Every structure is written in structure tokens, then in C-alpha cells.
Amino acid sequence: MSPQAEEFTLGVEEEYQIINPQTRQLCARSQLILPTAQSALGDEVAKPEFRLSQIEVATPICRSLQDVRAQLIRLRGEVIAAAAKEGYQIAAAGTHPFSHWQKQLVTPKPSYQKLVQNYQLLMHELVTLGCHIHIGLSDREMAVQVMNRARLWLAPMLALSASSPFWLGMDTGYTSYRTVLISRLPMTGAPHIFESYSEYQAIVRSLIATNTIQEPTQICWDLRPSERYPTLEFRVADMCMTIDESVMMAGLARALVRSCYEQALLDAPYKAVRPELLRAAHWSASRWGLDAELVDVNAECSVPAQKLVKKFLEFVRPALEEFGEWDEVYAIVQETMQQGNSAARQRDLYKRTGSLEDVVDFVVRETAKGTTAL
């Protein structure tokens, strides 16, 4: 199958925090806000999430970053408006700076209750939010071959998107503490190498047979073939604070899939990086973000974050240029490198003000930036 036969469509799922504007705490009001949001957007677009203090939205199928941006402007705007109608705010970040997990109610949905029953305290503590990006790839065998190659570039994507430096009122020292919290579960992290889609299906069946997971959709690797859609799903990113950052991540994900697809068509060799090294690369990205050295898994050494991101951009540039989206994505990446990722910007504000409430206000403003709700 040629690259032209695959559309490489885009879909973005965003998970939002519901904020009490007086206390800046998370508040369990999704059941109050969702009817208004769903009236404007539809039940399949605005949906409940694991916590009652969260709301998820999913864009329709998009064919360009311009479409993605337009949809995110619309979706964020409507959810913010629905929350404001009830007296609440919406924030986009991987964790809340100080709300305690013990006070966060789980949405009364059977699948969520099963997760809590199975994983106990790990799920109780999991008050995290991510940005999930779907890239259309209907050929399942090719999806696995693309995943084998794309797994090498997930760490710089995490570093660019990191937005969760605070937890329980503390600076964790990490840029993506969300990654740390999720990594304790048995079905998370970077995917391993699979020779075929049937081998991938076999390990999923084994995980179900051993009661590690209950259904295939509970595979939460940083990159996976979606069970619901003919897509590859990127789950590595923290929830992006701004629309620009979500657009950047969507553009990078699609370009990475396209680049790896073309390599797979040629049966080009790729480095079979061991999971231990990938785990180290992801830990380094979650710890330092863009502020120090990251692990270059291809070269098996540490390099400045700027250098690794540049290397990543060089790899995906031909695909971005083919889509006509190089200038836009490059500009947002450069701005992120200069101003810092979301975690760095939150941390800088906290150092200046000493107030985590100010951090929440900042995230709320940035979440609304570019929408009519600002």
C-alpha cells in the first residue's frame, strides 16, 4: 500500500479539569456541566471521564491541522461556556497543582468501577489528564510496523507536552508527574517490538487471560493500535495547556506516522531499542522536560534536549512539508523551546508568586486562549 492510499487523518481527544473559581480546587460537577456541553456538541464529542471532576472531548475526523485547530477552538469554547453557565471553570494540564486524590469521586460507570476494583490504590491516586492523538492507519499490519519505529521518538514528544509539575501542593521536581503516576500500572509505558499484528493480538489475549486487564481497550501504552478506530493512538502526551500545543502534538504525531510508514514500505531497518533504554528515555523526559539532557535512544547517549528535538524535527520534516504544515509546527516547537513547555511556565509563575492558586488561574487563562470564551 502506498502512502497516498492511507489518508493519515487526525483526531484529538482532550481531558479537562473542572475548577471551582473561588477555591481553585477540582470539583465533581461533570454531571452538571455535561448536558449543556452535549447539547452543543453531541454525546460522542463531549463525554464523561474517569473522575467526576473531569470532562473529555473528541474532535471529529480531521484532515489537516487547520481542521484540528478549528475543532479545538470550538470544543474548548463550548465546554468553557457550559462550565461558566454553572459557575465553574475549565483547565487543561496533566495534573491539578494541589487538589487531593482522596476527594476526587470516580464516575459511576461499570468499566471505571472495575478498574478501581482491580488496581485499588493505584487507580484511586490516578488523577491525571492526557491528550490522545489518533492518526488514521487502516492497515493493521503496517500499524504495528509503524509503531515499532515510532516508539523511538516518543520521549521528545513527552518532553514538549509536559504539563504536570505539581502534585498535592508540592513541586515534584518532574515536568510530567502524570507519567510517573501512570507508569506504576502494568499496561502502560512504551510498547515493545512486535513482528506482526497477530503477535500483538496474542499478547493482548494473554493479558486478558491472566486477569491483568479485562478488555483490549485497557492497553494504555504510550502508542498503540486503537481497538475502536482504524488508527494508531498516541497516549504519551500530557494534557496540552494551549490549543497551539495540541496542534503541535497532532502535527508531530501525524508526521511521525507518515515518516515511519514510508520506512516500513521500504522495509528499512530500524534500531531494536531495548525496553530498559526506552523506559530510561521516558523517565528522563518526564523528569527534565526541555530543561536538561534527554536520552537519545538511537545513539544510546544523553544529549541536550534542544539537540534531540532538532533531530526529531529533521526526521519528520519531509512529511510535515508534504502535508504543508512544516512552518506552523516548526514555529510552535520553537516557541515552546524558547518559552518553556507548560510545566516550565507553570513553575516559573509559582517561583514568582509563591501561589498555586495563581498557577490554576494561569492554566485556566491559557486553556481559553484562542477561543471566544477568553
> Average model confidence (pLDDT) for the chain?
96
> Is 344 part of a structural domain of the chain?
yes
The CA-atom distances, in angstroms, between 125 and each of 167, 279, 291 are: 11, 22, 27
Distance separating alpha carbons of residues 320 and 256, to the nearest angstrom: 9
Rounded distance between C-alpha atoms, residue 1 and residue 308, angstroms: 31
Residues 253-276 have a mean pLDDT of 96
With respect to residue 374, please indicate whether it lies within any of the assigned structural domains: no
Q: Is the pLDDT of residue 1 over 50?
A: no
Residue 373 resides in a domain: no
* In a domain? residue 156: yes
In a domain, 2, yes or no: no
Q: Which residues contact 276 (CB under 8 A, 6 or more apart)?
A: none
Hey, CA dihedral for 140, 224, 336, 295, is it positive or negative?
negative
CATH code (residue 255) = 3.30.590.20
Residue 274 inside a domain? The answer is: yes
Q: Tell whether 146 is covered by a domain.
A: yes
- Structural domain boundaries, residue 280: 7-368
Report how many domains make up the chain. 1
pLDDT band at residue 320 under the 50/70/90 scheme:
very high
- d(Cα 13, Cα 293) in Å, to the nearest integer? 30
State whether residue 308 is helix, strand or coil: helix
Q: What is the pLDDT of residues 107-158, one digit of tens each?
A: 999 999 999 999 999 999 999 999 999 999 999 999 999 999 999 999 999 9
Residues above pLDDT 90, as percent of the chain: 97
For residue 5, the model assigns a pLDDT of 73
Residue 17 located in a structural domain: yes
Q: What is the pLDDT of residues 183-209, one digit of tens each?
A: 999 999 999 999 999 999 999 999 999
Torsions phi, psi for 53 (to 5 deg): -95, 15
pTM of the model: 0.96
User: What's the mean pLDDT in 76-85?
Assistant: 98
